[in-house]
Amino acid sequence: MCGSGVWAGSRVVLQVVANPETHLSQGGIFGGTDNKDRIVTESNGTFTITNNNPTMNQQVINETSNTQTQLQVSIGAGTQQTFTVADTTQNPGQITLHDQPIPQNVSATLTATKVSVETSTAVTQGNNGLNLSQSTVAIAPVGSVATESITFYARQTQAAVEAAIDLMPIMKRNIGWFIRHLTSWLL
């Protein structure tokens, strides 16, 4: 496996070792010198992948036929995973990545937006003229009714997050969703 370093003026690109049984390639290059999103470094045989982009989770909840709540959690850059050469040979075709503890200074932003939506309703009628079914589909957001957002600049306990959003009714109503998506970030 090649990794982290400079040879003949060029940065060496991390490559996955060949399958130890078939001796065939397992996917070649992991990362790359032009990949600004993930930086791969090596120290004493352990490769560390640092994610330089925030991790984002989103969900849309249809509350009524013409309102939705849009939830989002964004965990800041800096999350890391590690692996060794042995991790690339134990399960041919896969690299076993090990999540590392999130650094204390990684931020998290929680946002909840209630929006009005334009809807379309379709009614299916039977031969006798009675309605058999009706479905309403949200077509597009029309406008924001309310937005709540909070950024934590360092990791927090679950109790601290819950206390911080206690006076934010949209977030408080969806606290379970936010906590689930912050699990690895919470202290």
pLDDT digits (tens, 9 = 90+) for 123-136: 666 677 776 665 55
Q: What span, in angstroms and rounded, lies between the C-alpha atoms of 121 and 107?
A: 41
Q: What is the pLDDT of residues 154-180, one digit of tens each?
A: 999 999 999 999 999 999 999 999 999
What was the pLDDT predicted at 156?
95
What was the pLDDT predicted at 108?
93
Pick from 58, 56, 57, 69: nearest CA to 138: 69
Structure tokens at 51: 């994610």
Burial class (CB in 10 A: 0-12, 13-18, 19+), 81: middle
Confidence of residue 68 (pLDDT cuts 50, 70, 90): confident
**For the chain, what is the mean pLDDT?**
75
List b or e across 166-186, with b for residues whose CB sees 16 or more CB atoms inside 10 angstroms: eebebbeebbebbeebbeebb
DSSP code string of 22-85:
T---S-SB-S-TT-SSEEEEEETTEEEEEE-S-EEEEEEEEEETTEEEEEEEEEPS--EEEEEH
* Interval 38-67 mean pLDDT: 78
Q: Which of 11-15, 73-77, 138-142 has the highest mean pLDDT?
A: 73-77
Q: What span, in angstroms and rounded, lies between the C-alpha atoms of 37 and 49?
A: 10
What was the pLDDT predicted at 2?
45
Task: Provide the whole-model pTM.
Answer: 0.62
Q: Which of 38-52, 64-78, 79-93 has the highest mean pLDDT?
A: 64-78
Pick from 95, 4, 78: nearest CA to 37: 78
What was the pLDDT predicted at 90?
73
